[in-house]
Amino acid sequence: MTNHAENKSPRSATASTSDFTVDVCLKEPKRIESIPQRTYYTYNDTVEGQVKLKVANPVSVRNIQVKLAGVSETRLSQNVEVLTSNLRREVEKLRHQLLYDLVTVFPPQNVANVSKNDKFTLIPGEYTYDFALKIPFLSHCGDEETKKHSNVYTSPYEAQDREKLECRRCETRHLEEPLPPCMDVNRIRETARITYQLKVSVHRPGMLTTTTRAIVPLMFRPPGPTLSLFRNSPFMEEVSTVRTLKARLQGEPVPLKRERFREMFSSTTKRQTVDMRLKLLYKPTLVPYQNNVQLMLQTSVNSDMKPPPVLYLKSIEVVLVQKLVIYTQTFIQMVEQDQRLLKSTETRLLSMPCATKMKEETGKFKSEIDLTESLKDISLDQFTPSFRTCNVMLSHKLRVVVNVSGIEDSWFSAGESMKIEVPVALSGELVTEDELTEMIGESYIDSPLYHIHSTEEEQLPEYEQ
């Protein structure tokens, strides 16, 4: 479920028959200063390009249309009880039209206006047609206004296609939400797929003719918040449960294996005990390339204690949990997938003298060691941002597991593990205020999307087996 924004997405497609070849070629999306590397489309982008038709033999054409389409498709299969105890496997599919717009590039509007013909003959030669279609902010199926601003509605020329659009609105549960990012989860029992396409169709006259189509898949991804929105979102705080470790003091000999074994089963050995817990400070909305988290190991030891106890950091693991909820007409399924962001198993000495004294000594914890530096290599830009649409919801959790031991080697010293898991939202990359306004309009900047707390848990319907 990753969104490889750095991958080059295709920009062209070709389809041909024995009589003609149709090529479609897209321009790069408009440059956004804040995200110069982007190759994907986002809100309010115009999908622009050119259709080239090479005709080898005279061909009769009804019209040539360019369509922009986005769909959210889900499929679930579940056991349903029939007649007391029999189970039957049932499959449900659901499809939401998130985006639909089109422009007729041939015949040209001035010809169509004066002609009653429903077919036009193209003689051998090359023809090119430019097109431009705009991607809105909200999904069509959940927002009447958005739909009515599409070319299908604003251009009287495309009136004939309105009815088709209506037919696609056969589902009843639509959410008024921003367009979701591309996504593809395809498993045996669950499918959730969000796709965007640009499609060129050469329609032929007559009942039994086939339509020739050239299709370019489009990458789509929402932008992140602005820097000030990100900075103004306060860090949240979470602590792990407390773990206690027997630690050697600096200068004390390292216990032999035999002694360690004995210590496991004896309570008479006197060792310094250290209480520890993890503290995670995190932004409720994680933004790629930003400082989203700080991680501290708090201990019951005074930072100026002499000699200090010896503690080893054995491992740090950070996981992004992707929690996907898939809906069909009557089924709901939740799928969780772990994406490892970091796994470090290099043992290193934690230096007590480098610990900072805690300002307010909360109970037994006197000092904390900053582990934030260990998280600096985490990258989030390749993951699909959190979103919600009519039949799919993707939310995230961040899990951090840290293991600390009093002994450097791993023989008979599993160490103590501390774990924190918090709900978060994941966004796209930062943009400037002007860029965001241009993409989503001023009225939406205050929308919950950009104040994101983690995707609302309480709005989740009960998960049914």
21: three-class secondary structure by DSSP: strand
Do the beta carbons of residue 340 and residue 398 sit within 8 Å? no
The candidate with the shortest Cα–Cα distance to 100, out of 193, 196, 194, is 196
Residues recorded for the chain: 465
Cα 4 from Cα 410, distance rounded (Å): 38
Report in angstroms the alpha-carbon separations of 52 from 22, 42, 202, 218.
6, 26, 11, 19
Question: How far apart are alpha carbons 237 and 234 in whole angstroms?
Answer: 10
Q: Give CA torsion, residues 183, 320, 440, 433, to 10 deg.
A: -150
Residue found by looking up tokens 């003959």 in the block: 121
> C-beta of 97: minimal distance to Zn ion in Å?
7
> CB of residue 422 vs Zn ion: minimum separation in angstroms?
30
Nearer to Zn ion, 101 or 368 (CB): 101
Q: Which is nearer to Zn ion, 192 or 436 (CB)?
A: 192
Cβ-proximal residues to 197 (8 Å cutoff; 6+ apart), any chain: 67, 68, 69, 70, 215, 216, 217, 218
Q: Which residues bind Zn ion (CB under 5 A)?
A: 96, 141, 174, 390
Nearest distance in Å: CB 142, Zn ion: 5
Radius of gyration of the chain (CA): 29
Nearer to Zn ion, 97 or 300 (CB): 97
| Closest-CA residue to 383 (of 428, 350, 434, 413) | 428
Query: Which of 97/454 has CB closer to Zn ion?
Result: 97
Which of 272, 389 has the CB closer to Zn ion?
A: 389
Q: Which two tokens stand for residue 88?
A: 């039957």
State the minimum distance, in angstroms, from the CB of residue 180 to Zn ion.
11
Which lies closer to Zn ion via its Cβ, residue 98 or residue 313? 98
Smallest gap, in angstroms, from Cβ of residue 153 to Zn ion? Answer: 18
Residue 210 to residue 208: CA distance in whole angstroms: 7
Is the omega angle on the peptide bond into residue 107 within 30 degrees of 0, that is, cis? yes
Residue number, 141 or 398, with CB nearest to Zn ion: 141
Report how far residue 17's alpha carbon sits from residue 213's, in angstroms, rounded to the nearest whole number. Answer: 10
Which residues on adjacent β-strands are paired with residue 125?
55
Backbone dihedral angles phi then psi of residue 321, each to the nearest 5 degrees = -95, 125
Nearer residue to Zn ion within complex by CB, 390 or 400: 390
Distance in Å, CB of 140 to Zn ion, minimum = 8
Cis peptide before 307 (omega within 30 of 0): yes
Contact 392, 74 (CB under 8 A): yes
**What DSSP designation does 83 have?**
T
Which two tokens mark 431? 């943009």
Determine the Cα–Cα distance for residues 417 and 337; give it in Å rounded to an integer.
22
Q: Which is nearer to Zn ion, 174 or 314 (CB)?
A: 174
DSSP summary character for residue 139: -
Tokens of 134: 């705009």
Report in angstroms how near the CB of residue 73 gets to Zn ion at its nearest: 11
What count of other Cβ atoms lies within 10 Å of the Cβ of residue 215? 16
The smaller minimum CB distance to Zn ion, of residues 268 and 459, is found at: 459
**Closer residue to Zn ion, CB minimum distance, 100 or 282:** 100
